[in-house]
Chains A and B, each alone.
Chain A
Amino acid sequence: MNESHPSGGGDRRIDDGIERGRAVEIIVDGAPIDAFEGESIAAALFAAGVRTLRHTARRGAPRGFYCGMGVCFECVMHVDGRPNTRTCQTAVHDGMQVRSQDGTVRR
């Protein structure tokens, strides 16, 4: 189980200079997506070719990963029951349930 996978698979993962963690599966809007322990949700989605992470509340405009460091809150999704989770700052785990959401944090 703890065997690490030298090759990430998926055409957007870079295979040299790295050995990723254990292969896991996350469920995004009901569909399984391959990921590796240590990856952020946003990185796993990027690797799978998913760029649009949510639509805005007011205009229904698509949004995705932007700052990558937890500042902009553009990449928020519904993760394991918690809305408004920054997917660039949150690591995947096996069986993680991820849903896209319309709208973002209301303060």
Chain B
Amino acid sequence: MSTPLAIVGGGPAGMAAALEAADAGLACTILDEAPLLGGQIYRAAPHAFAHVDAAAAGRDHARGEAMRADVAAASDRIDVRSGTSVVGIWERELLWVSDEASGSLDADQLILATGSYDRPVPFPGWTLPGVLTAGGAQSLVKTMRVRPGHRALVAGTGPLLLVVANQLHKVGVEVVAVLEAGRPPLSPRALAGVWGQRELLADAWRYVGGLRRAGIPLRFGHTVFEAHGTDAVDGATFGPVDRRTWRPLRDRAERVDVDLLVVGFGFVPNTALAALADCRMAYVHDVGGWVPERSALMETTASGVFAVGDGAGVAGALVAVDEGRVAGITGAERAGALTRDEADRRRAAPLRRLRRMGGVRRLLDELSRIRPGLADLATPDTIACRCEEVARAEVDHAMAEGARDLQAVKLLTRLGMGACQGRNCGPSMGLHLAAALGVSPADVGRIRARPPIKPVTIGMLANGDATWALDGEGEPERTPDRATDTATNTATNGRER
């Protein structure tokens, strides 16, 4: 199978890219893991729900519905493959798996719109059931309409905390407090950044006002220290953090009884596929960590590969949409569907908005810029790698043995070798290593994802048209697929080769 343009990820950035490409006359294919387009912030209600009170669902839901309708209206040019995970990339050839099948897709050009996920911050008890990421809590409340608990503590940093706390309160969950590790952001410089962005400014006031009316304390300079419980969370300890470093000041801790602890320390770009596509990566702390290097037109250093949205640097949905537009237009231009002049004309508006939103982006960066003292929330016994159950002490031991980067720690401890492939432990232990060794997070590297980047069964691979193999070293080596002769296309793993 082949396509002129493959777009991985069907959130705001991916949908925007597809709509621009289609509008220019270029056919494209969206591959998206979820059952319906929308990504996280524009997530759709399940098909089976007769749903949905638009007012209750909110503005983001309405924006998602509008984009989904536009994509559906362009179905002659946009091929949507939902429920489909891309688990490997070799140049611009994608290996995908769905529920029971797999296949390969050859793309002339590729746009990665893979989004971000909640930044994992280990602290004692963070693996207990009832400790949820802010995004996880939102998916239950907003999409599934289920209360994740009765009594909640919300902790972390960034504007999403205010949103989640309001949503929880609105559906009847008692929120005992919102803990923002940072300080109030209302400096004149920060306000200047959002001047002209009335929507965002109004949002912030609305959410802060919502907390005030609900009597929910918003405590700046505080964070969660520990989650308590045996089978699930039944309490939490929190307290103040050092103003500059966010190091926990444990002697001033308080304890509350809660059955829900929502934790959100901003987001980390999902870059596993960009790394697999051989995009050159750079560490940019303010946009969430490792990101692919890009031109102004969203091109990575890999030929024909674009990266847009939060997966290329966390900046939110509005920036993601315009980045997606620029990449979609540019992809259409490269494919010959648009002249240079016409492409320039179409790119002008989104590029202008992206420049203008730079001010907001700097403010959001400031709000969610995590500080090194957060690494001190973990004690030696705290689980660092949730999948392989590696404690932080084991990571420290590896450093004592001479490990100077994440890859060495991985080999010594199994950190990052589990199902999530280091998405949870990599960012936090990268910061821990950097702090302990007195170097930049860029110097300790990252945990490299290996294909398949999500666990797949041999059965799923066998039910497809892709023949692929991993050699003994784990380096990918594709053999050509022959879609016309499926009998010979038995997927195998390394042992059988």
Contact = CB atoms under 8 A, between A and B. Distances in A.
A77 interface: no
Contact of B386 (A4, A8, A74, A91): A74
B48 A46 contact: no
A68 B135 contact: yes
Contacts of B231: 51-52, 62
A36 B45 CA distance: 13
Interface stretch (B126-134, B192-200, B405-413, B434-442): B126-134
B146 interface: yes
Given A19-B51, A67-B135, A107-B417, A39 B56 contact: no
A18 B129 contact: no
Interface of A: 4, 8, 12-14, 16-22, 36-40, 43, 46-47, 51-53, 56-59, 61-74, 76, 82, 84, 88-89, 91, 104-105, 107
A53 to B, nearest CB: 7
B48 A38 contact: yes
The 10 closest A-B pairs by CB, nearest first: A64-B129, A17-B56, A68-B136, A21-B48, A38-B46, A38-B48, A37-B48, A19-B50, A43-B144, A73-B419
A51 B229 CA distance: 12
Interface centre among A38, A61, A82 (most CB of B within 10 A): A38
B56 A51 contact: no
B50 A67 contact: no
20 contacts: A18-B49, A19-B52, A21-B49, A38-B46, A46-B140, A46-B148, A52-B231, A56-B389, A57-B389, A58-B389, A61-B389, A62-B129, A64-B128, A66-B131, A66-B133, A66-B386, A69-B117, A72-B386, A72-B423, A84-B419
Contacts of A107: 417-419, 455
Interface centre among A18, A19, A57 (most CB of B within 10 A): A18
A51 B135 contact: no
Contacts of B137: 68
Interface in B128-163: 128-133, 135-141, 144-148
Given A66-B136, A69-B40, A18 B419 contact: no
B253 interface: no
Given A73-B419, A105-B419, A39 B139 contact: no
B47 interface: yes
B337 to A, nearest CB: 33
A105 B145 contact: no
A71 B117 contact: yes
Contacts, number: 159
A50 B35 CA distance: 24
Contacts of B388: 58
Contact of B232 (A12, A51, A72): A51
A6 to B, nearest CB: 8
Nearest to A60: B389
B232 A62 contact: yes
A64 B139 contact: no
Contacts of A12: 146-148
A79 to B, nearest CB: 11
Nearest to A70: B33
Q: How large is the interface on B (under 10, 10 to 19, 20 to 34, 35 or more residues)?
A: 35 or more
A36 B146 CA distance: 12
Given A38-B49, A69-B40, A14 B132 contact: no
Contacts of A37: 46, 48
Given A21-B46, A105-B419, A62 B128 contact: yes
A18 B53 contact: yes
Given A62-B231, A74-B386, A69 B132 contact: no
B302 interface: no
Nearest to B268: A71
A27 B380 CA distance: 39
A39 B45 CA distance: 10
Contacts of A13: 145-147
Contacts of A64: 128-130, 232
Contacts of B135: 67-69
Contacts of B55: 17
A88 B138 CA distance: 13
B418 to A, nearest CB: 7
A20 B419 contact: no
Nearest to A8: B145
B56 A88 contact: no
A53 B148 CA distance: 14
A67 B133 contact: yes
Interface centre among A13, A22, A46, A51 (most CB of B within 10 A): A51
B420 A47 contact: no
